[in-house]
Amino acid sequence: AIPLGQKTCLHLHNAFPYFFVDAEEITIEQANDYCHKLYICIERALELTQSSIKHQQKQHVYKIVLVKGKQFYGFHPCEKAYFKIYLFNPSNIEKVANLLRSGAILGKKFEILECHIPFLLQVFLDYNLFGMNFIKLSNARFRLPIRIRPKKFGKNQIKLIMQAINHFIKLVK
């Protein structure tokens, strides 16, 4: 909340839910073609599962990229290749993970990692955010008019706060 006691809402751009799929058998040369095949198959599978829903999304998968990393669970001395699959909707994570695990996509059963982590927790971890901690923003805006609760503040305090807010708004613009 800001000093006036108003709560704030943060709209964060370019934060998409994701999970990892083991890409053990894929070479770097095959990666782009395989990512494209995987992308198309996931899109088609989700279209089929949502065919009866009137307001279905046109696109489900944001992107698929090849990444390298060490598996978190257990001892693994070497890095492995993984596909990082980004989706537009966090509610589709479990659906896609189940389709990949079952072998419904590309006729292969995939090993899925980190699909159990809730989207909000992923965002907090990726952007190094902590509950009840300050967030420093380079670009912020207030919705006008800014309402003040006069019960909490005296008239002089309200004038000073309004001057500070107006000064902040000019700096942001």
Task: Give me the DSSP letters along 62-131.
Answer: EEEEEEEE--SSS---S-EEEEEEEES-GGGHHHHHHHHHHT-STT-PPPEESTTS-HHHHHHHHTT--T
With 70 as the cut, is the pLDDT of residue 14 above it? yes
What pLDDT sits at residue 58? Answer: 82
Q: Which residue has the higher pLDDT, 85 or 51?
A: 85
pLDDT confidence bin for 27, thresholds 50/70/90: confident
**How much is the pLDDT for 24?**
78
Strand partners, 86: 18, 63
Q: What is the mean pLDDT of residues 40-45?
A: 93
Q: What is the pLDDT of residue 147?
A: 64
Percentage of the chain exceeding pLDDT 70? 79
28 versus 39: the higher-pLDDT residue is 39
pLDDT digits (tens, 9 = 90+) for 128-153: 888 777 777 777 777 676 665 555 66
> Is pLDDT larger for residue 82 or for residue 130?
82
Torsion, CA 42, CA 48, CA 49, CA 52, rounded to 10: 150
pLDDT above 90 covers what percent of the chain? 42
> What is the arithmetic mean of pLDDT over 28-47?
91
Whether the full predicted model's pTM is greater than 0.85, yes or no, is no
Report yes or no: 115 and 84 within 8 Å, Cβ to Cβ: no
Q: How far apart are CA 114 and CA 158, in angstroms?
A: 48
What pLDDT does residue 76 have?
A: 83
**Model pLDDT, residue 39:** 95
Q: Which two tokens stand for residue 24?
A: 């053990």
